[in-house]
Amino acid sequence: MIQESDLIASDILYEWLLRRGDTALILGHRVSEWCGHAPVLEEDIALANIALDLIGQARLWLGYAGEVEDKGRGENELAFLRDAWDFRNVLLAEQPNGDFGKTLMRQFLIDAWQDALLSALKTSANERIAEIAVKAGKEVTYHLDRSSDLVIRLGDGTQESHRRMQAALDALWPYAGEMFSADAVDEAMAAAGLAPNPQTLRPGWDETVGEVFKQATLTQPQSDFAHKGGLTGRHSEHLGHLLSEMQFLQRAYPGAAW
């Protein structure tokens, strides 16, 4: 069996795992904020389910990250005892829910990316990564089916639903590019055969979302401008507020077991 330590420095792997875990965690947290407030009961169920899947995935990635870091931190220490600048989620994940259309569009853009990423990770030379990718991949494929379907139905629904979906797309598009940006961490992971270079995922993603937008009668923005920083810890103002809530109990009662 190949040890990941043979393939890559542990700090690079750790950093990369945080990007996976934090993105799942923060997006899952945002989705969970909907609890009890969805537009229709079926969506209450679906949103709870997606949040549950995502936080489940976060546990796998962060648990592994903690092992790789090897400083005795587990999923909970990583989730609840880091401040914003140590989080490595993409900015898109932390964007506020807005209306249901914005939440849905955020989910769709990320689902399509996660689906491509996890699909590639199934053949990672790192067994743990491949294992997690198989498990998470099944869930995310379902998420993508659902979000594609809803984007199409609401994009091509009433004038009002079309308007809201287009507004959501326009507002979130500048946050899509970060998902495909590559830095030294990504390049090292790719070189070691542990993960795809994110840039290689873009053409497939473009095709997936392009096809959905067409069916949804939505106009894909032309701008290439992309907000960046989340993957290296430079976040929007939103993340700090999210964390102050998420981390309250662990911060206020240090050392307690729950």
Partner 1 sequence: MSEEERAFQERIDRGEKIEPTDWMPEGYRKTLIRQIGQHAHSEIVGQLPEGNWITRAPTLERKVILLAKVQDEAGHGLYLYCAAETLGVSRDELIELLHAGKMKYSSIFNYPTLTWADIGAVGWLVDGAAIMNQVPLQRTSFGPYSRAMVRICKEESFHQRQGFDIMMKMAGGTPEQHRMAQDALNRFWYPSLMMFGPSDKESVHSAQSMSWKIKINTNDELRQKFVDQTVPQAEYLGLTVPDDQLKWNQEKNGYDFSEPDWSEFFEVLKGNGPCNKERLDARIKAWEDGAWVRDGLMAHADKSTVARTAAE
What does the binding site for partner 1 look like in residue numbers (CB under 8 A)?
25, 29, 32-33, 35-45, 48-49, 51-52, 55-56, 58-59, 62, 75-76, 79-80, 83-85, 99-101, 152-154, 156-158, 160-162, 164, 171, 174, 225, 227, 229, 234-237, 240, 244-246, 248-250, 253, 255-258
**Spatial separation of the C-alpha atoms in residues 100 and 108, rounded to whole Å:** 12
DSSP E strands, the chain? none
Residue with smaller CB distance to partner 1, 61 or 205: 61
Residue with smaller CB distance to partner 1, 52 or 125: 52
Q: Which does 210 bind (CB under 5 to 8 A by kind): a copy of itself, partner 1, none?
A: none
Q: Which amino acid is at 41?
A: L
Is 204 among the residues that bind a copy of itself (CB under 8 A)? no
DSSP code at position 224: -
Q: Which does 251 bind (CB under 5 to 8 A by kind): partner 1, a copy of itself, none?
A: a copy of itself
**Spatial separation of the C-alpha atoms in residues 103 and 38, rounded to whole Å:** 11
Which residue in this structure is represented by tokens 């898109």?
92
**Spatial separation of the C-alpha atoms in residues 90 and 125, rounded to whole Å:** 24
**Spatial separation of the C-alpha atoms in residues 217 and 153, rounded to whole Å:** 10
What is the contact surface with a copy of itself in residues (CB under 8 A)? Answer: 83, 240-241, 243-245, 247-248, 251-252, 254
